[in-house]
Each structure stands twice: as C-alpha cells, then as structure tokens.
Amino acid sequence: MNGKKLNRWELQKMKDSNEKAVWITAYDYWNASFAQKAGMDMILVGDSLGMCVYGYEGTIPVTMDQCIYHCEAVRRGAKNTFIIGDMPFLSYQVSIEGAVLNAGRFHKEAGVDAIKLEGGKRVCPQIRAICDGGMLVMGHIGLTPQSSGQLGGFKAQGRTADAAYELIEDAKAIQEEGAFALLVEAVPPEVCNIIRKTLTIPVYSIGAGIDADGQLMISSDVAGVFQAFTPKFVKKYANLADQTIEAFSAYKQDVKKGKFPALEHTYKMVDGELEKLITKLK
C-alpha cells in the first residue's frame, strides 16, 4: 500500500477476505518513510522506542511527551499510512479521564489514526471511554511489556489451559468494549488461532504464530539494528548494525589515512576568485 491510507473498514475487509495485514514499528521520520515505501499496511509507534531509541532496559520510563514527539516524526515520514500510537505506562492506568485525555493528545498533537493499550478486562473501562470519545482503540494481550514485573519477566503467555482461557475471555471483553482490532503477543499459535476465530475484529500476532489476521514486527529487529537481545519470534532480514559499524570504521580509517575528503567531496571557488583573494591578503 503506497498510495491511499487504509481505514479500519478496509483492515476489517482484509480479515474477512483472509488477506494478511503486515505492519512494523517505526520511531522516526526515516524509518517511517521506508516502511511506507515498503508498502506496510500500518505502522506502530511502539513504546518499544524506550529500548530501540533511548536505550532503556524496558518500556516503563517512556513518557507521553516522548511518544508524541516520535509519532509526529513518523506521521511526517508516512503521511499515507495508518499510524497507531502506543500509550505508555501510566498514561491510561491511573484514571479513565486521564486515558481519554492522553489518547486525545496522540490524535490532536501527532495526527495518529488509532491508539493501542495493553491489558485485558482490567482496562476495558478505558477502552470503552476512549471509543466513546470517537477514537479507534487496538487492544494488546499476552506478553504485555508494561506489566512484565507482574508476569515474571518477558515471557510467553497463555501456555496452560487456564491461562489461555483467561486470554480468550480478555479478548472477548476487549471486542465487546468497542476495540477495532487486537494484538496478541508471545502466545502459542493454537491460542491465537482460537482468538482469531472467536473474534470478528482483526487479530494480529507478534510472536503468536502464523494463524492471525496479520503480523507485526519491531523494525529494529527486522533490520538487525537492535543488539541487546533477540526474542525467539524474531526473524532478522538484514544486519544493519554490523553494516553501520563497518561504514563508520571505514570513514574513520579514510580520515586517519588522509583519503577523505577527496577533491570530489569539496567545493570549487568561482573562477579567478582565489587569485583575487591572494592579492587582497598581501
């Protein structure tokens, strides 16, 4: 999709006709423009920017202002792509009013098309209120990084019958409250498939197998930029970290050896002006 921005009904139609949606995270202008050029159906400005851009160990320190700045840059880079702003920790958990106001900031200040928030039944009042405010909400269940402390770390979820049942109940509640789509993270494929078949709204996977209505990946993982750790569900399609280090090292070597800048990297003086300057300096 390079031309026209998709809307929720077109995303719904894709699910209904078994066409997979493909989306990726982006945090800046350049990667957003690359994502749009590659034809991504959606872009998530994830709070994973905490790790991928700021070098935090998790998503907890990420603020609303940081998310807004990055959404603004992504919007400038991908004007024709459906953009989802990710609500950071404490931007929706504290109060329903706060959740609506912060969801509204994403729309008013950064021009996103939808917001995403983490959690099941316990965030349903917020989902309902944001939808009642006229905004589109995507749910996010399974491994929800903002509550990784409660989950005992960044671990796969829904691996027992009881845990899977709870996820399915959460998914139903999220749809019931008006969410237009749901993201399922780090859950066995069988469980994601049951959720996809149970819900009428699109159900997307990150680390939840192939039987979903589409796939999300983190751009820094796909491009091979993020080096701190690699989750099991990641496939790297490039190794930009090594290529970038090689490029920086080659530049350093060229400067040290007097090979850069060469003449072709410099500007010429206007004809005759150098002689005039030398005369003037005498």
Q: Kindly tell me which residue out of 47, 113, 177, 221 binds ligand KIV, with binding defined by CB under 6 A.
A: 47
Task: Quote the least distance from Cβ 162 to ligand KIV, whole Å.
Answer: 24
| Annotated catalytic residue 185 | yes
Q: Does 221 bind ligand KIV (CB under 6 A)?
A: no
Q: Does 156 bind ligand KIV (CB under 6 A)?
A: no
Task: Quote the least distance from Cβ 116 to ligand KIV, whole Å.
Answer: 7
Q: Kindly tell me which residue out of 11, 21, 25, 167 binds ligand KIV, with binding defined by CB under 6 A.
A: 25
Which tokens is 255 given? Answer: 């400067």
What's the rounded Cα separation, in Å, for the pair 194 and 216?
Answer: 18
Task: Quote the least distance from Cβ 235 to ligand KIV, whole Å.
Answer: 15
Q: Which of these ranges, 41-49, 148-156, 157-165, 244-252, lies near ligand KIV under the rule CB under 6 A?
A: 41-49
What's the rounded Cα separation, in Å, for the pair 206 and 217?
Answer: 6
Q: Is 11 helix (H, G, I), strand (E, B) or coil?
A: helix
Q: Kindly tell me which residue out of 11, 24, 41, 48 binds ligand KIV, with binding defined by CB under 6 A.
A: 48
What's the rounded Cα separation, in Å, for the pair 40 and 57?
Answer: 28
Burial degree of 83 (CB within 10 A; 0-12, 13-18, 19+): buried
Q: Does 139 bind ligand KIV (CB under 6 A)?
A: no
What's the rounded Cα separation, in Å, for the pair 70 and 66?
Answer: 6
Judge whether 102 and 92 are in contact, CB under 8 Å.
yes
Residues that bind ligand KIV (CB under 6 A): 25, 44, 46-48, 86, 183, 185, 206, 216, 218
